[in-house]
Amino acid sequence: MVMQWLMALMGGVLIAFSASLVLLFFGRIVGISGIFASLVTPGNGGDRDWKISFMIGLLSGGILLGFLSPASLQYLPERPIWLIAVAGLLVGFGTRLGNGCTSGHGVCGIPRLSPRSLIAVATFMTTGVFAAVFSNAVWG
């Protein structure tokens, strides 16, 4: 139990540290959906190098975890796969509609006391709670 708490704390510290470094060195906000969208959208030249490096680091962290602790990535879905796919598409739509995702608004916007981010995170959390309650009521 203590180890899980410590690992979660270390993960949060690493996320905050990496977001702070990007803000310090590049003057940019770390929002995964925005970074990814700019990499797959033609014509976004100048910031491409650090964004590619960031995405490689993000993916390699998951790969490294898979090698060091394979049990941490074992997951059996509790919902039908089609429902998980629909949920993923809705999350993607929501990040575009909200002009950012939880990493951009939650990790970077709230510490800067951005009113838009405070509203966005409150909306994300409220919607998430309702979606979880609804999902559990329907699928058990």
What pLDDT, in 10s, does the model give residues 36-87? 888 888 776 667 888 888 889 889 988 998 899 888 778 777 778 888 888 8
Geometric angle at alpha carbon 88, from 56 and 134, rounded to 5°: 140
pLDDT at 103 over 80: no
Single pTM value for the model: 0.69
Query: What does 113-127 look like in DSSP terms, one character per residue?
Result: T-HHHHHHHHHHHHH
Question: Residue with structure tokens 């060091």?
Answer: 68
The neighbour count for residue 73, using CB atoms within 10 Å, is 11
Q: How does 115-124 read in b/e, with b if 16+ C-beta sit within 10 Å?
A: eebeebbeeb
For the residues 13-39, what does the mean pLDDT come to? 83
Helices 2-26 and 48-68 cross at an angle (nearest 10°) of 160
Tens of pLDDT along 6-19?
A: 888 888 888 888 88
- CA 84 to CA 80: how far, in whole Å? 7
CA separation for the pair 121, 1 (Å, rounded) = 28
Q: Taking the domains of the chain in order of start, what are their residue ranges?
A: 1-75, 76-140
Confidence of residue 1 (pLDDT cuts 50, 70, 90): low
The reported pLDDT for the residue numbered 44 is: 62
- pLDDT, mean over the chain: 83
Share of the chain above pLDDT 70, in %: 96
pLDDT at 115: 92
CB count, 10 Å around CB of 33? 19
Q: What is the pLDDT of residues 44-54, one digit of tens each?
A: 666 788 888 88
A 10 A CB-CB count for 26 gives: 14
